[in-house]
Amino acid sequence: MKITEIKVYPVNEDKLKAYVTVTFENSFVVRDLKVIQGNNRLFVAMPSRRMKDGSYRDIVHPSNAEMRETLEKAIFEKYNEALKSPDANKRDYESEKDGQGHHTGA
């Protein structure tokens, strides 16, 4: 599955460094990935939801190590580019996702 677009939205928080939206094959969009500062390195957290027992479960995730590596490498490249951009902190993640196919429960 080919990654055709990655949008990175840097944030100024302690551990959360950016929100990410990834498009595959110009036809499948995954929002709410996160770049997180771990104890030893940055990592990409998949979109997840809180379960009734308080634990979290990924909504989507790579099904093998090769795809995870490909995805993380591409996201980190875009993340580093975004940090160098003069308008890195001017991107508005909330307005970007509004009206972009989110299910409203209606």
pLDDT in tens, 18-68: 999 999 999 999 999 999 999 999 999 999 999 999 999 999 999 999 999
pLDDT at residue 96, rounded to an integer: 58
Average pLDDT over residues 92-97: 57
pTM assigned to the model: 0.81
pLDDT at residue 89, rounded to an integer: 55
Nearest to 34 by CA among 63, 66, 60: 60
pLDDT at residue 104, rounded to an integer: 38
Phi, psi of 34 (to 5 degrees): -135, 140
Residue 48 burial (C-beta neighbours within 10 Å; 0-12, 13-18, 19+): middle
pLDDT at residue 99, rounded to an integer: 47
Enumerate domains of the chain plus CATH numbers.
3-48+58-85 (3.30.1120.40)
Judge contact between 23 and 31, C-beta under 8 A: no
